[in-house]
Amino acid sequence: MINIQKKIKLDQYTTFKIGGEANFFVAISSLEELMESLAWAKKNKQAILFLGGGSNVLINDKGFRGLVIKNEIKGIKKVKETDSSVYLRALSGEWWSALINYTTANNYYGAENLSLIPGTVGAAPMQNIGAYGVELKDIFAELEAVEIKTRKLKKFKLADCQFAYRQSIFKNKLKNKYFIYSVTLKLSKTPKFKLDYGDIKQILESKKIVKPNIREVVNAIIETRSNKLPNVALLPNAGSFWQNPEISGAQFKKLQKKFPDVKFFKTEEGFKIPAAWLIEHCGFKGKIFGSVSAYEKQPLVLVNLGGARAKDVTALAQKIEGAVWKNFGIKLVREINYIK
Ligand SMILES: Cc1cc2nc3c(=O)[nH]c(=O)nc-3n(C[C@H](O)[C@H](O)[C@H](O)COP(=O)(O)OP(=O)(O)OC[C@H]3O[C@@H](n4cnc5c(N)ncnc54)[C@H](O)[C@@H]3O)c2cc1C
């Protein structure tokens, strides 16, 4: 039985601690409750917003005129095992960190580089979460999603999801059309660590670990992330505000001529430039604008210093985007989901 509440403040449900009120709000813990909520929204002609951990959203100050459905549908189960792999099916309201704890405790390999990413399992496919050279798509088997219009459950295989860097079909063509209900991961029973990104190797070396086990890799990831990223409990934020822009070879040549120290990584199509480098070179790193700032250790993350509103964050974001465009001719694309 669902409990539809009225006029609920949304800032408490986001890691940015920002957002106005929802006209209607419901927390769901089963598929049946999802179906009931969808039926209620249809009957009462209300728009729908799904919320997981609220760690990738910026909700506007006026709030949401409709029904916010907060996903608390939990559960993790091994559904298949072969000689080399295991398949874990997690329900979408499960915390991503709980899934990482499960894979680590059971020595199921492949997800360790995605440790300490906040949020729920169901939001992970939305932007094909990624970190330290691993993306969700690398361990993805399939997902189930409920089509809002028909309330029917449909399976999506890897190719159906159109995963790309911080992208999926659910963020594009099928935006606001499906509720992701479960995600099945295919994990390896033998180690296949990717340690070449960031300073994971150095951290392990500093601890004199030559042949790390899964727990040691997870701990190294947690350590490096904790050193660089603000703790949301102390400095509310929503992770990277922008994607790293990708530019063509010709554009990169020009940029490198002007800025020989530009950081980059080569991709299949061109060159990816760390947005943090661009923002830092425009002088925003650690600079405070009232109640918001580009984090002093990682300026790609905008932080709420206390009492910030969505309009304060967007004002700073626009300033940064303008400066990057003016100085480098590069357009920053937002990673965050702005909720109007
Ligand atoms: C400190 C910090 C570090 C981060 N680091 C990373 C990182 O390294 N890599 C990375 O990729 N991301 C990172 N993020 C971003 C974020 O954690 C991920 O995008 C995460 O998957 C969001 O999960 P969530 O449950 O909080 O989603 P929410 O913020 O609640 O929702 C995000 C979007 O997905 C939609 N949505 C949520 N659940 C569902 C569902 N079940 N079905 C359909 N739509 C849904 C929402 O409507 C919204 O549009 C970071 C965030 C923070 C705060």
Domain of 322, CATH number, reads 3.90.78.10
Q: Is 261 exposed, middle or buried (0-12, 13-18, 19+ CB in 10 A)?
A: exposed
Q: Is 37 among the residues known to form the active site?
A: no
Q: Same structural domain for residues 244 and 221?
A: no
Question: In this model, does residue 102 exceed pLDDT 90?
Answer: yes
- Average the pLDDT over 64-79 and give the result: 98
Distance 324 CA to ligand 1 centre (A): 25
Of all protein residues, whose CA lies closest to atom 52 belonging to ligand 1?
239
Q: Structure tokens of 155?
A: 């399976």
Q: Is 240 among the residues known to form the active site?
A: yes
Per-residue HEC secondary structure of 262-285 comes to CCCEECCCCEECCHHHHHHHCCCE
Q: Same structural domain for residues 221 and 290?
A: no
Q: How far apart are CA 59 and CA 148, in angstroms?
A: 22
Distance 84 CA to ligand 1 centre (A): 30
Q: Which of 134, 313, 288, 295 minimizes the C-alpha distance to 228? A: 295
User: Best mutation site among 12, 38, 126, 151 for ligand 1, i.e. most ligand atoms within 8 A of its Cβ?
Assistant: 126
Asked if residue 185 has its Cβ within 6 Å of ligand 1, the reply is no
Domain of 192, CATH number, reads 3.30.465.10
Closest ligand 1 atom to 180 CA: 42
Which string of b and e fits 168-207 if b means at least 16 CB within 10 Å? bbbbeebeeebbbbbbbbbbeeeeebebeebebeebbeee
Asked if residue 337 has its Cβ within 6 Å of ligand 1, the reply is yes
Asked if residue 236 has its Cβ within 6 Å of ligand 1, the reply is no
- Average the pLDDT over 114-118 and give the result: 98
pLDDT (tens digit, 9 = 90+) per residue, 225-279? 999 999 999 999 999 999 999 999 999 999 999 999 999 999 888 999 999 999 9
Q: Same structural domain for residues 96 and 197?
A: yes
Closest ligand 1 atom to 50 CA: 47
Of all protein residues, whose CA lies closest to atom 36 belonging to ligand 1?
123
Q: Which of 181, 172, 169 minimizes the C-alpha distance to 33? A: 181
- Average the pLDDT over 271-294 and give the result: 97
Q: Same structural domain for residues 89 and 178?
A: yes
Q: Same structural domain for residues 105 and 218?
A: yes
What is the predicted pLDDT for the residue at 268? Answer: 86
Distance 326 CA to ligand 1 centre (A): 30
Distance 197 CA to ligand 1 centre (A): 22
What is the predicted pLDDT for the residue at 73? Answer: 98
Distance 54 CA to ligand 1 centre (A): 7
Tell me the sheet residues that pair with 71. Answer: 28
Q: How far apart are CA 174 and CA 277, in angstroms?
A: 32
Of all protein residues, whose CA lies closest to atom 3 belonging to ligand 1?
239
Q: Which of 71, 92, 107 is the last residue of a domain?
A: 71
pLDDT (tens digit, 9 = 90+) per residue, 135-182? 999 999 999 999 999 999 999 999 999 999 999 999 999 999 999 999
pLDDT (tens digit, 9 = 90+) per residue, 17-57? 999 999 999 999 999 999 999 999 999 999 999 999 999 99
Q: Same structural domain for residues 80 and 147?
A: yes
Domain of 52, CATH number, reads 3.30.43.10
By residue range, what is the domain housing residue 329? 237-339
Q: Which of 240, 246, 309, 321 is catalytic?
A: 240
Q: Same structural domain for residues 180 and 248?
A: no
For residue 335, the SS3 value is coil
Q: Are 169 and 125 in contact (CB under 8 A)?
A: no
> Structurally, how many domains does the chain consist of?
3
Q: Same structural domain for residues 222 and 137?
A: yes
Q: Are 184 and 141 in contact (CB under 8 A)?
A: yes
What is the predicted pLDDT for the residue at 38? Answer: 98
Asked if residue 120 has its Cβ within 6 Å of ligand 1, the reply is yes
Q: Which of 174, 205, 228 is the last residue of a domain?
A: 228
Q: Is 94 among the residues known to form the active site?
A: no
Q: Same structural domain for residues 21 and 157?
A: no
Q: Same structural domain for residues 131 and 251?
A: no
The chain-wide mean pLDDT, for the chain, equals 97
Of all protein residues, whose CA lies closest to atom 21 belonging to ligand 1?
124
Closest ligand 1 atom to 92 CA: 41
The DSSP line for 189-204 is SS------STTHHHHH
Q: Same structural domain for residues 168 and 256?
A: no
What is the predicted pLDDT for the residue at 269? Answer: 86
Asked if residue 229 has its Cβ within 6 Å of ligand 1, the reply is yes
Q: What pTM does this model have?
A: 0.97
Q: Same structural domain for residues 145 and 269?
A: no
Q: Strand 265-266's sheet: what is its strand order?
A: 246-247, 271-272, 265-266
Q: Is 301 exposed, middle or buried (0-12, 13-18, 19+ CB in 10 A)?
A: buried
Question: In this model, does residue 294 exceed pLDDT 90?
Answer: yes
Q: Which of 319, 273, 274, 323 minimizes the C-alpha distance to 300? A: 274
